[in-house]
C-alpha cells in the first residue's frame, strides 16, 4: 500500500513570507497528525484531526499557523507569516484510530 | 499539564553492550507507543503497549509498561550498529492527547 505522501520535501523562504505544506495520508486512515520537529528534538504535535474534525490543536501557534483537512482526506498546514524559529522538519502522520502512526518523509523548512 | 519525561538524552555504548531508555508520565496513560528515528529519517513505529504490566519482545528489544501505566522502558540486548538512532516514546491519554518524549539517542562507540 502507498505510504503517507508529503510535499514539498524542502522549502526555503525568507521571514515574514508564507508557506504551505501538503499531506496525503494512507487510504482509510481517519486520524491525521502534523508535527514540528526542530533539529535535535522530539516531534511536537501541532494538530490532530479525526476525519475532518480537530481532536487536539493545543500546541498550534494559531496566530500564524493554520491547518485544514478538507473532506477528511488530504490536509494542508500553512504558516503566515514565517519566523526564523519556524525552521524545522514538518512531519505528517496518519493512523487508523489511536494506533500505529505512519509518517511521511517530512518537509524541511528553512526560514532565512 | 500532561508531560512525558524520557531519559537519558544520550547513551554511548560499545557494540555488544545493552541499552535502556525510560519514559515517565505525570499522569496515567491509555497506551504508549515506541518509535525509532534514524539520522535524517522519520520516526518508524516499533510497538504499542496497552495493558498494565505488559511486556513485549521483538528479537533483542524488550518493552515494558508499568503496573500503574505511568512509565515504560525499552531495553536492547547486545546492541548492534544497526540499532543506532533516536528512540522515542509517545504517550496517549484518555482525553486523546498525545505527548512525545524528547527521545534517547543511541550512539555506538567504534
Residue B2 in this model has a pLDDT that exceeds 90: no
Antiparallel, parallel or unpaired: β B31-37 and B19-25: unpaired
Q: Min CA distance, B88 vs chain A (Å)?
A: 7
Which sign, positive or negative, has the C-alpha torsion B94, B44, B65, B22?
negative
The whole-number average pLDDT for the span B25-40 is: 94
DSSP string, A11-23: EEE-TT--EEEEE
Mean of pLDDT values over B39-63: 95
Mean pLDDT value across residues B81-105: 91
- B48:A56 CB<8 A: no
Give me the DSSP letters along B61-99.
EEEEE-TTSSEEEEEESS--GGG-EEEEEEEE-TTS-EE
Mean pLDDT of chain A: 93
Put simply, whether B99 touches A (Cβ < 8 Å) is yes
Interchain pair A43, B33: CB under 8 A: no
Q: In what order do the strands lie in the sheet with A19-24?
A: A5-7, A19-24, A75-79, A65-68
**pLDDT tens column, A47-104:** 999 988 998 898 899 999 999 998 889 999 999 999 999 999 999 999 987 678 999 9
In the prediction, which pLDDT does A1 show? 60
Cα–Cα separations (whole angstroms), residue A35 to A19, A26, A73, B62 = 16, 17, 17, 27
Interface contact flag, A45 B99, Cβ < 8 Å: yes
- For A85, the 3-state DSSP assignment is helix
Arithmetic mean of pLDDT, A35-42: 90
Give, in order, the Cα–Cα distances in Å from B35 to each of A43, A83, A86, A111, B43: 11, 29, 24, 28, 6
Q: What is the CA radius of gyration of chain A?
A: 13
Q: How confident is the model at residue B45 (pLDDT cuts 50, 70, 90)?
A: very high
Phi, psi of B82 (to 5 degrees): -70, -10
Amino acid at each position: 500500500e502507498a505510504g503517507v505522501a508529503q510535499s514539498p520535501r524542502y522549502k526555503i523562504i525568507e521571514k515574514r513570507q508564507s508557506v504551505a505544506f501538503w499531506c496525503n495520508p494512507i487510504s482509510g486512515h481517519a486520524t491525521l497528525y502534523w508535527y514540528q520537529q526542530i533539529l535535535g528534538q522530539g516531534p511536537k504535535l501541532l494538530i490532530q484531526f479525526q476525519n475532518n474534525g480537530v481532536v487536539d490543536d493545543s500546541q498550534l501557534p494559531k496566530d500564524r499557523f493554520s491547518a485544514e483537512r478538507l473532506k477528511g482526506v488530504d490536509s494542508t498546514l500553512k504558516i503566515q507569516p514565517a519566523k526564523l524559529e519556524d525552521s524545522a522538519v514538518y512531519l505528517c502522520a496518519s493512523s487508523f484510530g489511536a494506533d500505529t502512526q505512519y509518517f511521511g518523509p517530512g518537509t524541511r523548512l528553512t526560514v532565512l | 499539564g500532561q508531560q512525558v519525561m524520557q531519559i537519558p538524552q544520550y547513551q554511548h555504548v560499545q557494540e555488544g553492550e545493552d541499552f535502556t531508555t525510560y519514559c515517565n508520565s505525570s499522569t496515567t496513560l491509555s497506551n504508549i507507543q515506541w518509535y525509532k528515528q534514524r539520522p535524517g529519517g522519520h520516526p518508524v513505529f516499533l510497538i504499542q503497549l496497552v495493558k498494565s504490566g505488559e511486556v513485549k519482545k521483538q528479537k533483542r528489544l524488550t518493552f515494558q509498561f508499568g503496573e500503574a501505566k505511568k512509565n515504560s522502558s525499552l531495553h536492547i540486548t547486545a546492541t548492534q550498529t544497526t540499532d543506532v538512532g533516536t528512540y522515542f516514546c509517545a504517550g496517549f491519554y484518555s482525553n486523546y492527547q498525545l505527548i512525545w518524549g524528547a527521545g534517547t539517542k543511541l550512539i555506538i562507540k567504534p
